[in-house]
Chain A
Amino acid sequence: MESGIFFTDYRADMALRRKPAQQVRLGLFIALLLIFPFVASPYGLTLANQIGIATIGAIGLNILVGYTGQISLGQGAFMAVGAYTSGILAARLGVPFWLSIPIACLVTAGVGVIFGLPSLRLKGLYLAMATLAAQEIVEWVITHWTSLTGGTEALVVPAPTLLGARVNTDFRFYWIILLAAGFTALFTANLFRSRVGRAFVAIRDQDIAAEVIGVNIFFYKLLAFATSSFFVGLAGALTAHYRSIISWERFTIEVSILYLAMIIIGGLGTINGSFFGAAFMILLPAFINNVGRTLRDVAPLVATLLPAVQQGVFGAVLIFFLIVEPEGLAKLWRNIKDYFYVWPFSY
């Protein structure tokens, strides 16, 4: 039994993973991520890549919604900006993807700042409406600026090449996504244990007190939009190169809501919650699908009902998890850890 955790220097006290058990868990998780692509089926790899991209997008959204408390319904739009910027740069101008993706991230950050301007006056649901407008505007621009985006036609993005090899398989893409997701998670974790991240959370918890203690809330709100959009743009750009075909239908308001659901299910204002939420929202439909397919042989009736049942079950499971733990999967995970931490003396 431990009596507490004590450190003799600030560096150790401020580490991301303070306890040995946490360090071991993180090590195991990284090892698993490194081994996974060698043992997984092609289908498993596809799912993993989708989860990786969604995790980046969810962390991006969490920076804005979970940590800074600014509600956004513009996730789909920001992903679209990232996807189309990188896609157009690669397809029309032949820019290599390692350059087009960072450019796309910066452009999305800029667009995020513009659509973040209403946040200087609006809060809560009113801000949600303003970001909804952003969503509609971006969709409209994409479908109508035909000369640039191809309008409602799909945009074909060439497969990226790295060190002379074409990155066109799930296996090869896995490493790019893993690197990007790892960078996103680490950057965000660092951000929220230091000055800028603290200012973001202060704005969420008590904006007036934040101002009076010296946080320029106009600047930091816009910075939160920029930082968030940067990573959302990264997720969008990766989607473009991964899918190799993009169209505006992939970035509608439904995407915005799906991502909001992801971070709520996973846990607002947590990084592992972003991952849990992304994994959950991608694995659950896949799982329901598989169960349905297996049952089809046993009971043919299921096959006809499947599409309807799928949506229903998906919704029901979401509600179930939210009732069990309103603070999300990250909290559930913490509860499990706490249980074993104090076991067998759970008082």
Chain B
Amino acid sequence: MNAQPAEQLQARHITLHFGGVAALSDVSLNVRQGEILAIIGPNGAGKTSLLNCISGLYRPQSGELIFFKDGHAHNLLRLRPHHIARLGIARAFQNIELFRHMTVLENIMLGRHVHMRGNVLTCGLYWWRQQEEEIRHRRRVEEIIDFLEIENIRHKPVGTLAYGLQKRVEVARALALDPEILLLDEPMAGMNVEEKEDMARFILDINQEWDVTVVLIEHDMGVVMDLSDRVVVLDFGRVIAEGRPDEIRHNPLVVQAYLGDEALMEHLA
């Protein structure tokens, strides 16, 4: 690993209000190439709002959000969500947001949408050109299916699947984008220990083998401390701490933010 990895995404002084409520105030943070960055904080601290700004779903009132790719700096705040996806920022949601009536395969194929070119004519006349493209991208999708071990459910409608599997399909869909940065919003919420361990391994593999930067929101402190290279702590829409997991563990501000939460205190202590 380099001594000083390149910065890939910079949030500069992001401020986001809803009416009179400040969801984010003056939030600045850097995401470095190839790291796993965890964003933690109590409920309502603004973690998901921050991801929504990165995905282009929320427009902050002020600040800058710069994504560096191939020597270019893109200001994400000027772009619509589908442009941001096209640049290589993929997202798995907190509440599962899959296309419920589609099969697992079709869901993941949608992750290939930005890499495909088929238009209404080539799709309608399928055999002319589209079939070849569909098969080419199907190969990539099958690699992801293989990687996440969901071969046996590929033709099932996702609406019928168990919760843990749906979470996995959502990660698969985001991964099919071949992203530079993968935003994961509580990928392990509601999972049992075994499913969590599987997911943790997948996240590490995605990061290390596939070379994808991961930004992770997670409440399970054990997971956060084990997985992440760096941790950013939000509280009431402000960054109160940033650093390596062992630094965060002993930061008095963080301890104070979580004060009263016995389980978390144990992890931090």
Contacts and interface: CB of A to CB of B under 8 A. Distances in A.
Contacts of B57: 208, 211-212
Nearest to B85: A214
A223 B111 CA distance: 20
A316 interface: no
B251 to A, nearest CB: 32
Interface string A203-242: 0111011111111110000010011000000000000000
Name the interface size band of chain B. 35 or more
Contacts of B84: 212
A199 B110 contact: yes
A195 B91 contact: no
A210 B102 CA distance: 13
Contacts of A206: 97-100
A190 B133 CA distance: 13
Interface string B112-127: 0110101110111110
A198 B98 contact: no
A11 B126 contact: no
A83 B223 CA distance: 64
Contacts, number: 114
A213 B120 contact: no
A209 B94 CA distance: 12
B228 to A, nearest CB: 23
Nearest to A217: B82
B186 to A, nearest CB: 16
B55 interface: yes
18 contacts: A10-B134, A14-B138, A190-B130, A194-B118, A194-B130, A196-B123, A198-B110, A201-B99, A201-B101, A205-B99, A212-B55, A212-B57, A212-B82, A212-B84, A212-B91, A213-B91, A214-B86, A214-B177
Interface of B: 55-57, 80-82, 84-86, 90-91, 93, 97-102, 106, 109-111, 113-114, 116, 118-120, 122-126, 130-131, 133-135, 138-139, 173-174, 177
Can you list the 9 inter-chain pairs with the closest CB atoms, starting with the nearest?
A214-B85, A190-B126, A214-B114, A205-B99, A209-B97, A195-B118, A187-B124, A194-B123, A211-B81
